[in-house]
Amino acid sequence: MPATLGRGFRFEIPALAIVTDAEVVGWRRRRPRMRFLRDGERLASWADLTPDDLVVHVHHGIGRYRGLIRLPMDGAEREYLLLEYAGEDRLYVPTDQIGLVQRYIGAEGDQPKIHRLGGAEWEREKGRVKEATREMAASLLALYAARATVPGHAFSPDTTWQREMEAAFPYQETPHQLTAIDAVKRDMELPKPMDRLVAGDVGYGKTEVALRAAFKAVMDGRQVAVVAPTTILAQQHYSVFSERFARFPVTVELLSRFRSPAEQKTVLAGLAAGSVDVVIGTHRLLGKDVRFCNLGLVVVDEEQRFGVAHKEHLKTLRKSVDMLTLTATPIPRTLHMSLAGLRDLTVMETPPEARLPIHTEIRPQDDDLVRDAILAEHARGGQVYVVHNRVESIERAARRLRRLVPDVRVGVAHGQMPEERLEQVMLDFLGGRFDILVCTTIVEIGLDIPQVNTVIIEDAHLMGLAQLYQLRGRVGRADRQAYCYLLYPRSAPLTTEAEQRLRAMAEFVELGSGMGLAMRDLEIRGAGNILGPEQHGHVAAVGFDLYCRLLDEAIREARGEVVEEAPDPAMELGVDAYLPPAFIPDEHDRMAYYRRLAAARTVEDVDVIAAELEERGALPLPARVLVEAVRVRTVARSIGVSSIAREDHLFMVRLSAGGHLDEAAQQRLRSALGGRAAVSAVGLTVRASGQEFVEQARALREVLALIGRLAAHPVHG
């Protein structure tokens, strides 16, 4: 059985020495150790529904979801989503139409109007929004078209040095990390500017993705700029890049306020002359006095932290050089641009080896709790962040902690400190000369100190969800259990939004929750002015999801793409077809499978879902019927069938309006099917063999596939 060697050994007879690569080149690749997650809920889709949620039905408007119910219909049972509308109107949505229903996410402060079923108001509102999205699509395409039309530098394939540098990575890459690396390299080798967003949870290895892209650019004679939102994060990136590139002829420099004016001047001269290969810095890199000799790649860490002017500058760079953006919690605008196909998106969801979910508690302010948490961390040799986000009272907070835990060393850090003092405090904390760092949110972005595994966040109710998530991500980067305490004043009543934010932090504790939290953040804050103030009312009118869907359609139309897909055929099969609660007890899980089955476009898609269901055990009959019915639907849709009705062994198949079978196709079908079918220009009635519906449905699929092969013209016209 193959295995790895930790160190070499020697045989006396015969004289033979075995030496490992770690002993030759001085590095060791750690092998992955898979762990099952614990202490964390499974991250559900942001689109999952809970009873009483506001929802949007594409055709009927805004209503309220009341749950999944099973109903008999035409002698057979199915599951339906029950939606309530104004005037106590009720709508039962079959689970195969679940894609038409999404949770309503609107604009902050706006309470949506519940619509009546059958009214014209919803269609009018949707029409207004659709027209607005067409205008928005035209402006977006004009803004981003330059990236696709302006030729960019096509980077060369990987070099030997590239492979050597990557082999020196001391950890085993996660599957999603490898996917992100491959996607970035593939983009770089294309003859157009790259604009890829890599979204990965805190500590998931995004820096390594950027590092390999930067090395690839340098190996092709191009310069690289790495832009970070804080001086401290820039310093940390500088240390990592310098260490990894030390064995190669790559010059890495830092441009930030930690450098003296003379040092900055030297770096700027090196950039202009081409002697500096990689420069790492803050927004200082976006200054007018920064000139590159041959810039090829810009890496932006947490772009949402930069100001409007800096984002505009980055937008300009996107048109001419390759751009790689890294983020742990994408802002809704970035998410939307990615989903709309205007930026390429890679999501890294695989946790690194030996990582545990962070134990998160939401508690009122309590000195005893704070003391116990600090002493417990101190007893195991760890350090603690205490986040106190008010500079005017931070020293008072530090004195309180010194009284609470007099034997523990306390340091203070905030952004208004003199640069040299702030740098020294952070270096002292990194070196273990403080046990507690009382700090503002200056530590929110990027700091990687593995021995810090407890964070106490005071007045957590005043912070945004993405900010809380980033602060919690400062701990838990080693292979030991980490703790996060979100504290709020006992005397301060929590607002509804604050309570929702804190609950979301408790819910999304599993590793890889960043993307889900970004969507939950959007839900809580509302879409707001996500695409500019003029779009605010349109988002509120139809909900964020439908707005994005309409915008995506408008963009595809503007590009000349075919937007309309063949509609799903109406199917009246007269059989029980659902996922029994006894088989999948969790309603969210059932909803997720219904969504995937409704979205399936090929028989192969359905086969994948069926295989996952079978891993739970033998499929009950209603589940087997459901899966087979979806297979029939995918084939029927592909050939332009509008409806299928079943009576005993007979299936009546009708083609969509405008579709037809010409005489030659009819004759070929009659010949192929013999007496099993009555064929006409608009459809056929076929007698399917088999006693069970599943057998009959398989036989029907063969007939439908035959129609697709034998028809002289596409039957959907």
Same domain? For 193 and 233 the reply is yes
pLDDT tens-digit series, residues 471-521? 888 888 667 899 999 999 988 778 877 887 888 788 776 655 665 666 666
Q: Which residue has the tokens 């003029």?
A: 534
Please indicate, yes or no, if residue 189 is contained in any of the structural domains. Answer: yes
Please indicate, yes or no, if residue 603 is contained in any of the structural domains. Answer: yes
User: Per mean pLDDT, which range of 138-152, 220-234, 281-295, 653-667 is the poorest?
Assistant: 138-152
Q: Alpha-carbon dihedral of residues 609, 614, 618, 624, nearest 10 degrees? A: 10
pLDDT at 32: 36
Please indicate, yes or no, if residue 576 is contained in any of the structural domains. Answer: yes
Contacts for 297 with CB less than 8 Å, ≥ 6 apart: 188, 213, 214, 217, 222, 223, 224, 225, 321, 322, 323, 324
Q: Is the pLDDT of residue 351 over 60?
A: yes
Which of residues 322, 348, 374 is at a domain's end?
348
Which of residues 457, 487, 509 is at a domain's end?
509
Please indicate, yes or no, if residue 262 is contained in any of the structural domains. Answer: yes
Same domain? For 468 and 583 the reply is no
Same domain? For 503 and 437 the reply is yes
Same domain? For 416 and 305 the reply is no
pLDDT bucket at 342, cuts 50 / 70 / 90? low
Same domain? For 172 and 321 the reply is yes
Q: How far apart are CA 96 and CA 567, in angstroms?
A: 12
Same domain? For 402 and 329 the reply is no
Kindly list the distances between the CA atom of residue 35 and the CA atoms of 172, 368, 415, 513, 588, in Å, as whole numbers in the listed order. Answer: 14, 33, 38, 17, 24
pLDDT bucket at 38, cuts 50 / 70 / 90? very low
CB atoms inside a 10 Å sphere around CB 64:
16
Kindly list the distances between the CA atom of residue 646 and the CA atoms of 207, 251, 391, 573, in Å, as whole numbers in the listed order. Answer: 57, 73, 73, 5
Pairing of strands 383-387, 436-439: parallel
pLDDT tens-digit series, residues 290-301? 999 999 999 998
Q: How far apart are CA 93 and CA 81, in angstroms?
A: 5
Total number of domains in the chain: 3
Same domain? For 334 and 369 the reply is no
Q: What angle do CA 309, 315, 317 make, to 5 degrees?
A: 110
Q: Which residues pair with 486 in a beta bridge?
A: 362, 457
pLDDT at 113: 86
Q: Is the pLDDT of residue 2 over 60?
A: no
> In terms of residues, how long is the chain?
717
Q: Is the pLDDT of residue 33 over 60?
A: no
Pairing of strands 452-457, 9-11: unpaired
Q: Alpha-carbon dihedral of residues 573, 579, 581, 582, nearest 10 degrees? A: 100
For the chain, the distance separating the N- and C-terminal CA atoms, rounded to the nearest angstrom, is 59
Same domain? For 343 and 363 the reply is no
Q: In this structure, what CATH number is given to the domain that contains residue 176?
A: 3.40.50.300
What number is the average pLDDT over the span 35-45? 33
Same domain? For 586 and 703 the reply is yes
Please indicate, yes or no, if residue 123 is contained in any of the structural domains. Answer: no
Please indicate, yes or no, if residue 27 is contained in any of the structural domains. Answer: no
Cis peptide before 14 (omega within 30 of 0): yes
Same domain? For 381 and 316 the reply is no
Range of the domain at 697: 570-710
Q: How far apart are CA 533 and CA 136, in angstroms?
A: 12
Between 664 and 342, the more confident residue is: 664
Which of residues 348, 372, 391 is at a domain's end?
348
pLDDT at 107: 58
pLDDT at 535: 66
Inter-residue contact 251 to 224 (CB < 8 Å): no
pLDDT at 567: 77
Q: In this structure, what CATH number is given to the domain that contains residue 645?
A: 3.90.1150.50
Please indicate, yes or no, if residue 370 is contained in any of the structural domains. Answer: yes
User: Per mean pLDDT, which range of 281-295, 529-543, 550-564 is the poorest?
Assistant: 529-543
Please indicate, yes or no, if residue 259 is contained in any of the structural domains. Answer: yes
Q: Is the pLDDT of residue 40 over 50?
A: no
Predicted model pTM? 0.63
Same domain? For 374 and 339 the reply is no
Same domain? For 314 and 217 the reply is yes
Contacts for 319 with CB less than 8 Å, ≥ 6 apart: 146, 147, 150, 193
Q: Amino acid identity, residue 218?
A: V
Q: Is the pLDDT of residue 341 over 80?
A: no
